[in-house]
Amino acid sequence: MVEQIIQQALQDCSNVKYQVEYIHYEYSYIKSHCDFEFSGKNDLGVMEVKSVGNNTSIASCPFDNWFDQLHYQMGLAK
């Protein structure tokens, strides 16, 4: 649901892609899925959306595996 809210907010932005898959140029079995990709003239950015369940309080800080996932996605995007 959070992804859909963000997607609707960004729907008029021409430089945003939703649900992008990155595949390693040499090893096609190495893949990653990214929620949003932002492209500029010389830049590329990725955004991974995270949310917590209904019975879970908001995390006080991002979990380490969230950082690992984003770095993995950024590496494949590069």
Indicate the pTM of the whole model.
0.77
Comparing CA positions, the residue from 21, 73, 14 lying closest to residue 47 is: 73
| Domain-embedded: residue 55 | no
| DSSP state letter for 58 | P
pLDDT of residue 17: 92
Q: Residue 56: inside a domain, yes or no?
A: no
| Mean pLDDT for back-to-back runs of 10 residues, the chain (78 residues) | 88 90 94 92 88 72 88 90
Domain presence at residue 39: yes
**pLDDT for res 26:** 94
Give domain status of residue 41, yes or no. yes
Structural domain for 45, as ranges: 2-50+61-77
Q: Is 23 part of a structural domain of the chain?
A: yes
The pLDDT assigned to 55 comes to 64
Total tally of structural domains belonging to the chain: 1
